[in-house]
Amino acid sequence: MTNNQEYHIPVMLQECIDGLNINPDGIYVDVTFGGGGHSRAIFERLSSKGRLIAFDQDPDARKNAWDAPNFDLVPANFAFLANHLRLLGIKQVDGLLADLGVSSHQFDEDSRGFSIRSEARLDMRMNQQSDLTAEKVVNTYEEKDLLRIFRAYGEIKNAYRLTQEIIAARRGAKIKTTNDLNEIGVKCAPKHKENRYLAQLFQAIRIEVNDEMDALEKLLEQSADVLKPTGRLVVMSYHSLEDRLVKNYTKRGSFTGEIEKDFFGNVLKPFTEVIRHPIVPSDEEIERNSRARSAKLRIAERNG
């Protein structure tokens, strides 16, 4: 059982494992299986009484699975975490890990359309069975919806201009490829910041295609139900939108950051932060794996 480095290099592997505080006889969930790097490290620390459940909606990830009586790979979105655990006869678990980044394999596989650096059809689906593609978003979304995703998910300052450029371009011909989209985006990008701008554009569309923010909210809410008291929640995010949701929920018990209190003035929140500030990769890790540079790791413990 080896780590598939070609598929994806696991980010902050030791920090994630330490954060889970693994009980060898416990039940753990890795909701973003991918290349299986984090999952393998968890599994290797379990006894025969322990159990690992992994989730991944991408069919390509299944080739990285292995056979073991105490390992299950669920081919589904983690938004449906609780239902699938229930089907497996599991009510509560000892730890849950989520690595929210797009895998290196998905970026490097040209046909998937995730990368700004290669010519491909505009796809960006993590679940290849989904009907919504990046091509459909840029060619059929109304102005208000394009503005919404560029502002909310890409944090693009000149979202209105970008939206007008896309609408004008698609009147002449369908926007079909990543290069087609790049050509439009470059027109709106600040000078010398073209790659960053295009990355924000692609991020916004990818989040919309995969409904990533809603799925993350559902995951966090369900994690409060499925984790045992003192169970660990370990989440690694790669952009500020995800990190803000995780921080607000673990720190204040809400996605907005507002604090709710009971009649006696006690703060109503399911988790307590194990660390107050996120862990970030070392300079050495970033040098080995440049895709780790934006990662932030947060660790929280389920309140009793």
Top-level class of domain 13-104+212-302: alpha beta
What pTM does this model have?
0.89
Per-domain boundaries in the chain: 13-104+212-302, 113-210
Give, for all 304 residues of the chain, the pLDDT tens digit.
444 455 558 999 999 999 999 999 999 999 999 999 999 999 999 999 999 999 998 888 889 999 999 999 999 999 999 999 999 999 999 999 999 977 554 555 665 666 777 788 999 998 888 899 999 999 999 999 999 999 999 999 999 999 999 999 999 999 999 999 999 999 999 999 999 999 999 999 999 999 999 999 999 999 999 999 999 999 999 999 999 999 999 999 999 989 888 888 888 899 999 999 999 999 999 999 988 999 999 999 999 8
| Architecture field, domain 113-210 | Orthogonal Bundle (1.10)
- Reduced 3-state DSSP string for the chain: CCCCCCCCCCCCHHHHHHHHCCCCCCEEEECCCCCCHHHHHHHCCCCCCCEEEEECCCHHHHHHCCCCCCEEEECCCHHHHHHHHHHCCCCCEEEEEEECCCCHHHHHCHHHCCCCCCCCECCCCCCCCCCCCHHHHHHHCCHHHHHHHHHHCCCCCCHHHHHHHHHHHHHHCCCCEHHHHHHHHHHHCCCCCHHHHHHHHHHHHHHHHHCHHHHHHHHHHHHHHHEEEEEEEEEEECCHHHHHHHHHHHHHCCCCCCCCECCCCCECCCEEECCCCCECCCHHHHHHCHHHCCCEEEEEEECC
The pLDDT of residue 2 is 46
